[in-house]
Amino acid sequence: MAKSLGPVKRKFSPWTDPAATPFIRFENITKRYGDFVAVDNLTLDIYEREFFSLLGPSGCGKTTLMRMLAGFEEPTEGRILLQGKDLSGTPPYKRPTNMMFQSYALFPHMTVEKNIAFGLEQDGLPKADIQARVEEMLRLVKLENFAKRKPAQLSGGQRQRVALARSLAKRPKVLLLDEPLGALDRKLREETQFELMDIQHTLGLTFLIVTHDQEEAMTVSDRIAVMDKGIVVQVATPAEIYEAPNSRYVAEFIGDINILECALVENAGECVHPGHPPVVHLESDGLKIAVEQECAAVVGDRVAFAIRPEKVRISLDQPPETGSNLAHGEVWDIGYLGDFSVFLVRLEDGRTIRAAQANVSRLVDRPITFGDMVWLSWPLDGGLVLTR
Amino acid sequence: MAETGATSQNNPWRWLVVGVPYLWLLVFFTAPFLIIFKISLSDTAIAMPPYTPTFEGFGAIGDFLSQLDVENYLFLTEDPLYINAYLSSLRMALISTGLLLLIGYPMALAMARAPSTIRPTLLMMVILPFWTSFLIRVYAWIGILKPEGLLTLLLQSIGLFGPDQQVQIFRTDYAVFIGIVYSYLPFMVLPLYSALEKMDNTLLEAASDLGCPPWKAFWKITFPLSLPGVIAGSMICFIPITGEFVIPDLLGGAETLMIGKTLWTEFFGNRDWPLASAVAVLLLLALVVPIVIFQNQQQKVR
């Protein structure tokens, strides 16, 4: 999959190194509640210092997976290895993982300071060391002046910071974050996302985050596992997930995308650009589509063509392309998002394609408006063929 | 919120709603208390009512007031019977409350941790005894505890007791403790349950996650957070147990010394209304202290 994107430079990518040993390994994990299968024979490797996201809709098993790593649930089948050590049967209070709870779960009868010190006290550290670590944590989350407050006297954002400080205080090998930013408003959430990345980088810890918010996952993660009904559909970097989803499910779950049902016409292997994959020809109800992509499907297969709206060009004049990757239709609706405008274009056969255009100049009246007949076009590497 | 608060402040209905219970308390608590207080300052008399002076109108008010004195209170301090009865009542109430906590807390905890589907049933079972009269339930204990009672029969039938051995706890303090703990258990369990049930279970998960094993988490998290329930339950039990009369009267023996019984004897046995009233007033004062502590705690919780 990654090949279609061409060579990508990465500073941190242990998952591409076959010699690297995974830090956490979920090995054939199945979790059943009665008849309900929450996690279905799932295998997943996470590497040291990775910021890893489990992304999926509610009920996809992502939280169950995290809770099994924390020790609150035991897998029905399979095992979880941390640094090669089987965690089966180890109770949560003996695991080197710490969790930041969705509800924060701060102890309401303890001050901020006491909350942060709680885990350290369990380890029986000397008082002076605990004090020093608590102060360090308070500095890290910028709550030095709130040490003596009770959780009820804090704002939502401050509580979230206390929860983070508490879960980091013990320097866990793995920090688990369960929908950590769900309760925060958008601005604060974005700020905190960057702070989280900063903290993770500074402390050099492995972070595993559970979220249903694709933007959050895209922003913070080194890699994302997209989950659906207890299985992992795709594990890849945010860019790969967005640009090269391996299935309709992933394509539709992440971002906005046009999907056209197609028949595969030709998969001859003709190379247009040197170094790029060969071209696959598709046809979708009279619409001819050409895609540069390695594709296992054969002539006659029903496949889907997927293309992100921002990769579809929209113009009033006919573009120079001829034959393939060209559609003509009427502007049906326009969504003005400030930075982008999304045009909903209705083709002659009634299908609609969304095209997004960056609003690069400060015009209030756009040249393209409702009812205009427009041309849509896209390059050979704009979209992709999905076989499942 | 502020707006609705302001309108309800000026709403005359609000004062009516608040006023009715206060009026009720004024008529049915303050007035009788003042009458009792007045009687406690009077002297015994072989008359109807059995004390003097009686209020004969405002004309003779000076004469009336001059006959009131605190000699009954002085008498109470002189006779060790009364002080012993107070201390014994407080001791009984303290021990009973301790026992109630020991039995009620695990019960309430088990109820709060039970699956939510069976919780209403468990709650119902705690309230169920109230369907029978309190007096009848205490009488039932006589049938169980008396020497030839059900307990003896049970112990004999399972072979722990020989045919000529009998349980000798009826008419002792032990029987009183059993009766009190049995009767007051729901009053202890319900406040504890409501405090424990509110508790967020993820707090225990968080404690466990931070390296705290379950038994330690109980003392560090569960118990401190249930303290309002512990205090409420203890007060609700301790205060009435101190003045308890029926249970020591029915189950206790001659040596069972409790202020409620003393009070009854003074009123109905000796017909010494003034002295009995003085005992009642002192009992009330002795209980005001725990009530104030209770109120303070409730305020703190809010």
Domains recognised in chain A with CATH numbers:
10-252 (3.40.50.300), 256-386 (2.40.50.140)
Query: Would you place residue B9 in the very low, low, confident or very high pLDDT band (cuts 50, 70, 90)?
Result: low
Flag if B209 and A103 touch (Cβ within 8 Å). Answer: no
Question: Tokens in use for B19?
Answer: 């006023």
Coil, helix or strand for A374? Answer: strand
Read off the tokens for A20: 């690297």
Q: Is the pLDDT of residue B302 over 50?
A: yes
Nearest Cα residue in chain B from A107: B203
**Cβ neighbours of B207 in A, within 8 Å:** 93, 107, 118
Query: Cβ of B202 and A98 within 8 Å?
Result: no
Q: List B214's β-bridge partners, or say none.
A: none
Q: How far is B106 from chain A (nearest CA, A)?
A: 22
Tokens 């071209």 belong to A279
B-chain residue closest to A98, CA distance: B209
**CA atoms of B233 and B227, how far apart (whole Å):** 10
Q: Which residues of chain B have a CB within 8 Å of the CB of A103?
A: 200, 202
| ω into B53 cis (within 30 of 0) | yes
Q: What angle (nearest 5°) sits at the alpha carbon of residue A273, between those of residues A271 and A275?
A: 85
Q: Which amino acid is at A7?
A: P
CB contact under 8 A, B210 and A103: no
Task: Note down pLDDT in tens along chain A; length 388 residues.
Answer: 334 444 444 478 888 888 888 999 999 999 999 999 999 999 999 999 999 999 999 889 999 999 999 999 999 999 999 999 999 989 999 999 999 999 999 999 999 999 999 999 999 999 999 999 999 999 988 899 999 999 999 998 899 999 999 999 998 989 999 988 876 778 878 888 888 888 888 888 899 999 988 888 888 899 999 999 999 999 999 999 999 999 999 999 988 999 998 888 887 766 667 777 778 888 888 888 888 888 777 787 888 999 999 999 998 888 876 778 888 899 999 988 888 889 999 988 888 999 998 888 877 777 888 888 999 989 888 888 888 7
Exposure letters A113-139 (e unless 16+ CB within 10 A, then b)? bbbbbbbbebeebeeeebeebbeebbe
Which residue among A103, A109, A119 sits closest to B210, beta carbon to beta carbon? A119
Residue that has been written with the tokens 């958008």 in this structure: A186
Query: How far apart are the C-alpha atoms of B163 and B157, rounded to whole Å?
Result: 9
Judge whether A324 and A266 are in contact, CB under 8 Å.
no
Say how far residue A319 (Cα) sits from the centre of its chain: 35
Residues 100-159 on A with a CB inside 8 Å of B are 101, 103, 105-109, 118-119, 122-123
The continuous run of DSSP H or E covering B101 comes out as helix B80-113
DSSP string of B170-199? TTSHHHHHHHHHHHHHHHHHHHHHHHHHTS
Mutation for A interface: B199, B209, B219, B223, most A CBs within 10 A: B209
User: Tokens representing B262?
Assistant: 């003393």
CA–CA gap between residue A263 and residue A302 (Å, rounded) = 5
Question: What local confidence, expressed as pLDDT, does residue B268 receive?
Answer: 87
Q: Is B95 helix (H, G, I), strand (E, B) or coil?
A: helix
Domain ranges of chain B: 79-301
* Contact across the interface for A98 and B213, Cβ inside 8 Å: no
* Residue A88 touches chain B, beta carbons under 8 Å: no
- The least confident of A62-71, A313-322, B72-81, B127-136 is A313-322
Mean of per-residue pLDDT scores for chain B: 87
CA distance B125 to chain A (A): 30
Please enumerate in sequence order all residues whose Cβ is within 8 A of that of B79, keeping only pairs 6 or more positions apart, or say none: none
Distance of alpha carbon A80 from alpha carbon A74, whole angstroms: 10
Sort residue B198 into left (φ over 0), alpha (ψ -120 to 50) or beta. alpha
- The residue assigned the tokens 């326009």 is A334
Examine the pLDDT at B128 and tell me if it is beyond 80. Answer: yes
A98 contact residues in B (CB cutoff 8 A): 209-210
> Does 3.30.390.10 match the CATH number of domain B79-301?
no
Q: Which tokens sit at B71?
A: 């000699």
Residues of chain B in contact with residue A72, where contact means CB-CB under 8 angstroms, are: 205, 208-209
Q: What per-residue confidence (pLDDT) applies to A6?
A: 43
Residue A330 tokens read as 């009427």
Q: Where residue B60 falls among pLDDT bands split at 50, 70, 90? A: confident
The label of the residue with tokens 């700020």 reads A191
pLDDT of residue A2: 39
With CB atoms and an 8 Å threshold, state whether B210 touches A122. yes
pLDDT value at B1 more than 80: no
CB half-sphere exposure, A93, CA atoms < 13 A: 18
Q: A107, B208: Cβ pair inside 8 Å?
A: no
Q: What ipTM goes with this model?
A: 0.81
Which residue in A93, A103, A118 is closest to B202 by CB distance?
A103
> In the prediction, which pLDDT does A63 show?
92
